[in-house]
């Protein structure tokens, strides 16, 4: 049994590289609506400057979701939180999506939000499909939606209990502890050390590139640009792997290597025919 308090207004801000965090944000929103609340999701790539503050002022509870990158908050969400004005005790929840493990993946964003004045009462980690499909690290992944169904079902169940805790006003902070913090640091600190070196790792395989502009359209940080009708990179990659996974001809390289054809097409999101354009509004 869970008790539902009064109808709350809830806003969920998310960053998603390849669709998993989008999927979870929509799932949480559906659950909140079923529990009688009024919720709305916002891709941080489409929220105009200033609108986020107005939304936060207007709602009772604010959620923040991001994919884990090396036990750390994905960069666009880090910048989004850093740019928010200070608030005074606004109730908040934070969640991360991850393939396997992050230690304190939600806590690290929760700490940033706490410093901004949010009253972070809920935190959760959701296991989702792996989106790391680069050739240099041969991690298992699949685009087979029958196989993904089980992963998504388990994530959905966790989302149901998370939303019930929030709805009931019951504090729930999974992985918010000193031990989780130290475990997260084991991955986060080395990742932070090399992060700036990774900015140039994404390139273009000229032999295969058809200059269709999909990477220009989809990159969340504008790392691609046209010059003389040919696409170039600026060296500002944040390694979300959206361009790498969604390039229609797999012409994006990572550390000079294109995707291995033997591994099938790269991960293309949690639902069939997922269009990452909905994350950017372009
Ligand atoms: C650069 C990078 C680093 C990642 N690091 C981790 C990690 O430390 N632990 C983990 O379980 N998953 C890790 N992942 C996997 C993603 O967090 C996971 O697939 C996530 O759900 C992707 O969400 P998105 O589709 O919204 O971008 C990493 C992915 C990328 C691209």
Query: Is 112 among the domain residues?
Result: yes
pLDDT at 23: 98
pLDDT category of residue 233 using cuts at 50, 70 and 90? very high
Q: Mark whether 137 and 214 lie in a shared domain.
A: no
Q: Mark whether 52 and 101 lie in a shared domain.
A: yes
Q: What is the pTM of this model?
A: 0.98
Q: Mark whether 156 and 213 lie in a shared domain.
A: no
List the residue whose alpha carbon is closest to atom 4 of ligand 1. Answer: 69
Average pLDDT rounded to a whole number, residues 243-259? 97
Of all residues in the chain, what percent carry a pLDDT higher than 90? Answer: 95
pLDDT surpassing 90 at residue 52: yes
Task: Please give the distance, rounded to the nearest whole angstrom, from the Cα atom of residue 108 to the centre of ligand 1.
Answer: 15
Task: Please give the distance, rounded to the nearest whole angstrom, from the Cα atom of residue 186 to the centre of ligand 1.
Answer: 16
Q: Which residues line ligand 1 (CB under 6 A)?
A: 16-21, 67-71, 97-102, 128, 130-132, 187, 239-241
pLDDT category of residue 232 using cuts at 50, 70 and 90? very high
pLDDT surpassing 50 at residue 1: no
pLDDT at 49: 78
pLDDT surpassing 90 at residue 98: yes
Task: Please give the distance, rounded to the nearest whole angstrom, from the Cα atom of residue 77 to the centre of ligand 1.
Answer: 14
Q: Mark whether 17 and 41 lie in a shared domain.
A: yes
DSSP secondary structure string, 171-207?
Answer: -EETT-SHHHHHHHHHHHHHHHHHHHHHTT-EEE-TT
Spell out the long-range contacts of 208-211 with Cβ–Cβ below 8 A and sequence spacing 24 or more: 208/249, 208/250, 208/251, 208/258, 209/249, 209/251, 210/248, 210/249, 210/251
Domain containing residue 275: CATH number: 3.30.70.20
Ligand 1, from 73, 132, 220, 268: best to mutate by most atoms within 8 Å of Cβ? 132
Tens of pLDDT, residue by residue over 113-138, are 999 999 999 999 999 999 999 999 89
Task: Please give the distance, rounded to the nearest whole angstrom, from the Cα atom of residue 82 to the centre of ligand 1.
Answer: 21
Range of the domain at 152: 9-188
List the residue whose alpha carbon is closest to atom 30 of ligand 1. Answer: 69
Ligand 1, from 98, 175, 271: best to mutate by most atoms within 8 Å of Cβ? 98
Ligand 1, from 13, 65, 77, 130: best to mutate by most atoms within 8 Å of Cβ? 130
Q: Mark whether 245 and 150 lie in a shared domain.
A: no
Query: Is 3 among the domain residues?
Result: no
Average pLDDT rounded to a whole number, residues 161-166? 98
Average pLDDT rounded to a whole number, residues 83-111? 98
Q: Mark whether 24 and 155 lie in a shared domain.
A: yes
pLDDT surpassing 90 at residue 92: yes
Atom number, ligand 1, closest to the C-alpha of residue 130:
19
Q: Residue 37: which of 63, 14, 74, 19 has the closest Cα?
A: 63
Average pLDDT rounded to a whole number, residues 38-62? 96
pLDDT at 277: 97
Of 155, 188, 221, which residue is a domain's last? 188
Query: Is 2 among the domain residues?
Result: no
pLDDT surpassing 70 at residue 5: no
pLDDT surpassing 90 at residue 84: yes
Average pLDDT rounded to a whole number, residues 77-92? 98
pLDDT surpassing 70 at residue 2: no
Task: Please give the distance, rounded to the nearest whole angstrom, from the Cα atom of residue 20 to the centre of ligand 1.
Answer: 9
Query: Is 1 among the domain residues?
Result: no
Tens of pLDDT, residue by residue over 19-48, are 999 999 999 999 999 999 999 999 999 998
């Amino acid at each position: 049994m869970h008790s539902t308090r009064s109808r709350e207004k809830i806003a969920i801000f998310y960053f998603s590289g390849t669709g998993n965090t989008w999927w979870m944000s929509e799932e949480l929103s559906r659950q909140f609506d079923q529990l009688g609340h009024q919720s709305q999701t916002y891709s941080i790539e489409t929220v105009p400057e200033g609108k986020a503050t107005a939304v936060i002022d207007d709602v009772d509870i604010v959620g923040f979701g991001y994919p884990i990158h090396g036990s750390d908050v994905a960069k666009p969400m880090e910048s989004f939180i850093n740019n928010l004005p200070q608030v005074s005790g606004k109730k908040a929840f934070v969640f991360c999506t991850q393939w396997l493990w992050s230690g304190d993946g939600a806590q690290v964003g929760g700490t940033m939000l706490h410093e901004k004045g949010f009253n972070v009462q809920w935190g959760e980690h959701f296991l989702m499909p792996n989106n790391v499909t680069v050739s240099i690290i041969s991690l298992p992944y699949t685009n087979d939606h029958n196989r993904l169904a089980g992963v998504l079902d388990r994530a959905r169940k966790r989302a149901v209990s998370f939303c019930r805790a929030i709805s009931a006003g019951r504090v729930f902070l999974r992985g918010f502890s000193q031990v989780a913090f130290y475990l997260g640091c084991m991955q986060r600190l080395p990742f932070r050390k090399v992060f700036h070196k990774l900015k140039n790792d994404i390139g273009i395989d000229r032999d295969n590139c058809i200059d269709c502009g999909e990477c220009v359209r989809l990159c969340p940080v504008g790392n691609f640009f046209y010059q003389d009708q040919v696409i170039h990179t600026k060296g500002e990659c944040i390694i979300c792997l959206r361009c790498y996974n969604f390039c229609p001809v797999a012409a994006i390289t990572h550390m000079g290597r294109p995707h291995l054809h033997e591994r099938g097409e790269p991960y293309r999101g949690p639902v069939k025919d997922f269009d990452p354009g909905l994350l950017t509004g372009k």
